[in-house]
Structure 1
C-alpha cells in the first residue's frame, strides 16, 4: 500500500492514490511531519539513554540534544557575535572559535527569538524545522519534471527520514542551506537567473559550500556553450552565467577577507577551520593545502583500524573513480538531469579539496540530497521500502552514536 500511495499511476483507485491525490505542499507536509515525529521519538529515547560519559550527561533532554555541538556555536554567534581577537593556546595557535560559522542562520534565529520571548533554542529549532519542510517541498518540484511526481515524493520521503534526518530539528544551519540550494538549482533548471543574485549570497553566508556552486556554474556554462547548436545559448544567459559564477567566487572568498579585516589576521578564517583538524592530526600540519585533508585522513583512519596506510590511498582513489562512474553512467542518476549531476560532481570536488573527513562527513554530504531521486528511481516496492527502512535505521544509529553516546572527536554530529 505504501508503494502504491507514492506511484504515479493516476488510474489507481482513489484510496490507493494516497498522497498523489493531495496538493504537493500538503503531500510533502504529511511525509515531512511523519518523519519528524519518528525523529522526535528517537531523540527522546536517546536522551533517556544518555549517560554520564556523554557530552550531554545523564540528565539529557530533547532540548539539549537539539542544541548540541555546532548549535552552541551558532548560539554564540547570535548572542555575542564574532571575536575581534582570535583565541590562542599556550603555543600561540588559533583555537576553535565562532569565525567557522556563517551569520545568516543565527541572525534569523535571533530575530525569531525576539517574537518567542527571547527563547533562542526554540527559535533555532523552529527555523530548522520550517526551513527543512520548504527544502523538501522545493526538492519535490526540482525533481518531479525529470522523474515524475510519485518518484519525487519518494525522494522527499527518503530525505526526510534519512540517516541525517535529525538535523532538520536541531539548531544547525543545514536545512536552511538546503532550502537556498534547492531553490538555486530549481531556478537554474528553469533558466531563471535573476533570483540567483540573491540566493548565492544567502547560500554563501549560511554555511560553506558556495564555491562548489561557482564550479557548477562554470561547468554548466561550458556545457551550454558546447551544446549551443542543439540548445541555443542567448547572449543574456551567457552574461548571467558568467556574472553569477564570479559572484559565487567573490562570496566564497569574502568571509576570509571579513574575518581578516575584523581580527587583523588575514589567515583568521583558515586558521580557525584548521583548528578543528589539528585535534586529529596535531600541530605539524603545515597549514591548508588543497586535497591534503582527504589524503591525511585516508592514512589516519586506516592506521587507526590497524591497516596499512597505503590501503587508505588506494581506497580513496577507488572511491573517487566509483563516484565519477556513478555520476556519468548510472541510468537513474542520469535521469535527474545535467544540473543535478553537475552540482553533485562540483560539491564532491569541493569536499575533496577542502575537507578533512571524520564523523561529520555524513552531515556534510547532505547537499547531495537531490541524488535521493536516483535512489527512489527503481519502482519495486521492496526496494523503496527497504531504502526507507535503512534510512530510519541509519538515523537511529547516528542519533545514538553522536548524541546519546557522543563523548569524543570520533563522535561529532
Structure 2
C-alpha cells in the first residue's frame, strides 16, 4: 500500500526515475557493443569506439548531415533515379540539435543523444498522465516500465526522432482525450515537421470530434468549440502535407519527398501494402505460409486491440492503435526498422500487463506481468543491440 500511495503522490518522479535507470542499462549494453564495432563501417569514425559513437549510427548519420550541411536544393540522381538523401528526414529534431550545439559548443553525438534522452523523459511523464487518466497511476507506472525496457528503447537516447515524436504524439492524444482542441491542433501541426504520424493522428482527431458531437445533447457545443474543433482538424490536414510541400518548393520537384522515400525501397517504388507481403515472402518463403503468418499477425493484433480486455484504454488510445497499425501496414517497408516504429504503439502495453479490463477485479497479476515483460524486454534489447547496432557492412539500413 505504501508503494501505491507513493505512485499516487509522486507518479512523475517515479516514472522518470525508472526511465533513467533503464536508460543506464541500455548505455552499458551500447558501450559493450561499441567494442565489437569495425571502425571502417561507422559514419564519422576516428577509429575510436565508445558509447557516443553508438548513439549516432545508421539514421543518426543523416541527421548529422542535415545539421552540418542542411537539405540539398537539387535531388541527387544517378541515371535519372533519385538517390537516398536528407529530404527523407524531418527538420525539427536536427534544427533543435543545431541550435543547442551553437549555444553549448557540444558535439552532435553528445548534444543529440542528450536531447533525445531528455525528450524521452518528458515523453514518459506525459505517457504516465495519459494512461493514468484511464487506468490509474499504478498501471501507468507499469506501462512506462515495460515501454522503457522494450527492445527498441535504446533509440530514446540515440540521435533519432522517436523521443521528439512521442512528446508531440502523446501531447496530441492527451489533449484529444481531454477535449482540449487548440492544444491538440498545435501538437498535431508540430508533428508535420517532426515525425510522419499526422495521417493516423488525423483519424483519431476525427473520432474525437465525432464522439463530442454524439454527446452534444448532454453538453451542447458552443460556437467557440466548433471553431476549435475545425481548427484542430485543419491543423492535422496541414501537418500531413507540409513537409512534402516544403521539399517540393525547395527542390522544384513535386514528388521530391515521395521520390526520396522510394529510394530506400529495393525496387525504387512505393506501393501500398505490397512491402509487407514481399518481406514475409522473403522471410518465410513464397505462398501459403507467408500469407498465413501475416494473416495471423493482423487478426491477432485486432483481437488484442478490440476485445473487452482493452476497453479501459478508452476510444482515443484504441483508435490511435488501429489507425497507426493500418498506416504502418500501408506505407512501411516492414523490416528491422519496424522495431522503432512500434514504440508509438505504447497503449497496447495496457493490455499486455493485464490492465485493459474496465472491471478492476479482472485485472489480475499486473505486477507480475510487468516484471516478466520488463525482463523479456531487457533480454531482447541485448539481442537487438548486438544484432542491429553492430555494423558488419557499409550498406543497408537496419534501424
Q: What does 1:65-214 correspond to in 2, within 5 Å?
A: 65-89=54-78, 91-214=79-202
Q: Aligned partners of 1:185, 1:194: CA distance in 2, in Å?
A: 12
CA contact (8 A) 1:113 1:122 kept: no
1:316 has 2:298 as partner? no
Which runs of no fewer than 5 residues in structure 2 stay unpaired? Answer: 356-362
Report the Cα offset of residue 315 of structure 1. 2.8
- Matches of 1:345 and 1:231, distance apart in 2: 28
Counterparts of 1:302 and 1:144 in 2: how far apart (Å)? 41
* Cα gap change, 1:239 to 1:316, in 2 (>3 Å): farther
Answer yes or no: is the 8 Å Cα contact 1:50–1:59 preserved in 2: no
Residue 315 of structure 2: aligned partner: 338
Instruction: Identify the residue that residue 6 of structure 1 maps to in structure 2.
Output: none
CA contact (8 A) 1:54 1:403 kept: no
Give the direction of change, closer, same or farther, for the CA distance of 1:120–1:275 in structure 2 (3 Å limit). same
1:231 deviates by 6.7
C-alpha distance in structure 2 between counterparts of 1:26 and 1:271, whole Å? 44
- Give the corresponding residue for 1:382: 368
Whole-angstrom CA distance in 2 between matches of 1:347 and 1:68:
26
Tell me the SS of whatever aligns to 1:365. helix
Q: TM-score normalised to the size of structure 2?
A: 0.90
2:393 matches 1:404: no
- Of the three residues 34, 47, 50, the one matched with 2:21 is 34
Q: Deviations over 1:273-301 (max 9, x none)?
A: 010012xxx34xxx43332333xxx2343
Using the TM superposition, name which of 91-100 and 28-37 deviates more. Answer: 28-37
Change (3 A) 1:308 1:330: farther
Equivalent in the alignment of 2:280: 301
TM-score normalised per structure 1 = 0.87
Say whether the 8 Å CA contact 1:53–1:405 is kept in structure 2. no
Offset at 1:140? 0.5
- Per-residue CA deviations over 1:192-242 (Å, capped at 9, x if unaligned) read 112123212211111111111111112333344345556765554444333
Q: CA deviation at 1:246?
A: 2.5
TM superposition shift of 1:302: 2.4
- Number of matched pairs: 388
Deviation at 1:383, TM superposition (A): 1.9
Residues 126, 384 of structure 1: alpha-carbon distance in 2 compared, 3 angstrom cutoff: same
| Correspondence list, 1:235-314, <5 A | 236-278=224-266, 282-283=267-268, 287-294=269-276, 298-305=277-284, 307-314=285-292
Quote the RMSD (CA, aligned, Å).
2.4
Asked whether the equivalents of residues 116 and 164 of structure 2 are also in contact (C-alpha less than 8 Å), the reply is yes
Q: Tell me, what secondary structure is at the counterpart of 1:163?
A: coil
Question: C-alpha distance in 1, partners of 2:8/2:201?
Answer: 35
SS of 1:356's equivalent in the other structure is coil
Separation (CA, whole Å) in 1 of partners of 2:12 and 2:370: 22
Counterpart Cα distance in 2 of 1:229 and 1:76 = 54
Match of 1:7 in 2: none
1:134-158 deviation digits (Å, cap 9, x = unpaired): 1000000101121111111011111
* Residues 341 and 401 of structure 1, relative CA distance in 2, 3 Å threshold: same
Structure 1 Cα separation of the partners of residues 134 and 154 of structure 2: 28
Mapped contact 1:55–1:407 kept (Cα < 8 A): no
Q: Which residue of 1 aligns with 2:359?
A: none
**Aligned with 1:322: secondary structure?**
helix
Runs of 4+ residues over 4 Å off in structure 1: 16-19, 51-59, 226-236, 408-411
